[in-house]
Amino acid sequence: MNEPKKIFLTTVIAVLLAQASLAWGGLVPETSSTFPPNVLPEYQDAISNVLPGYKILGNEDMLQDESILKNFLSPDEIVKRKKSKSLGYIAGRFNDDRFQDFAAWVVNRSIKQKRPVMPESYPWEDHFAARLVVCLGTNMPREYQCEILPTQEGNFISLPYWADLELSKIRGEISCGDPDHQIVFFDQPISTFYPEGWKGKRPSSGKGEMPARKLRLNYDAIGEYAIGSNAGRTLVRGSDGIYLECASGD
C-alpha cells in the first residue's frame, strides 16, 4: 500500500467532510430503532453480546452526499452505492469452516472525543468509539464467536464514515507484505492485528509484524478502503486467529 497516497486521499476526504459538516450539522442522528435499518437483528445481537452499547453502522451513518461522492465515484457507482443494503457490514466465510460469518463496523456514540479533521486544523469534530468486529459462525444457529479489531483509522472514527467495507473472495494466491521484493526502497513486512483479549504468541519483535509471504486461500478476506480508491487494507484471518494485512486478491 502506498502510504503517501493513503494520507493524501484521507486528507482530501477529511477536508470535503469538514466543509460539508457545516450543512449537515456535523453529525448523523441516531435512529430510534434498536438496530439500524437493513441490519439483521441476529447480527446486532451478536455485537451487543461482546460490545454492549455498540451498534452496527447503518447506511445513514455512511458518506452519502453526492456533492462529495462525485469527486471519487462515477454516477453509476454512486447509484450502486445508494442501492446497497449493507454498507456497514459484509457476510462471507472468513475462516476455513463451512459456516457463514460476518464483519461489521460498530460505533458507540456515548464514547467520543474531540479531534481535528486533520493534524493542526480546525474546527475539531466529534469522533466516536468504533471497532471492526468479525463474527464467526458456529454449529449453533444464529450464534457467533466474535473477534474485536481496530478499524483502519484506529478506535475512533468520525461520522458520516468515508470508507467502504468490501468482501474480497480469495480463490487462489494473495500477497501479504512484499514477498517478491518489488518495492525497491522499503522492506515491507506484514502488519498483523490481534483480536482484543488475544492470549496466543506474538512475533518476537513485539511490533505486530511478520515476514512477507504469499498465501493460498479458499475463503474470503475483509477489505477496508477509502471510497473510490485503493487506499486501505485487506485483512486475512490466519488459521491461528491472527489477522494479516495483505495486498489484494481475486
pLDDT in tens, 106-130: 999 999 988 766 555 566 788 899 9
Distances in Å between the Cα of 11 and the Cα atoms of 6, 26, 81, 125 are: 8, 17, 22, 15
| pLDDT score for 37 | 55
Say if residue 23 is exposed, middle or buried (CB neighbours under 10 Å; 0-12, 13-18, 19+): exposed
Q: Which residue has the higher pLDDT, 47 or 185?
A: 47
The pLDDT-based confidence of 77 (bands split at 50, 70, 90) is confident
pLDDT (average), residues 87-98:
91
The pLDDT-based confidence of 81 (bands split at 50, 70, 90) is confident
Per the CB < 8 A criterion, the answer to whether 110 and 128 are in contact is no
pLDDT (average), residues 155-178:
83
| pLDDT score for 250 | 38
pTM comes to 0.76
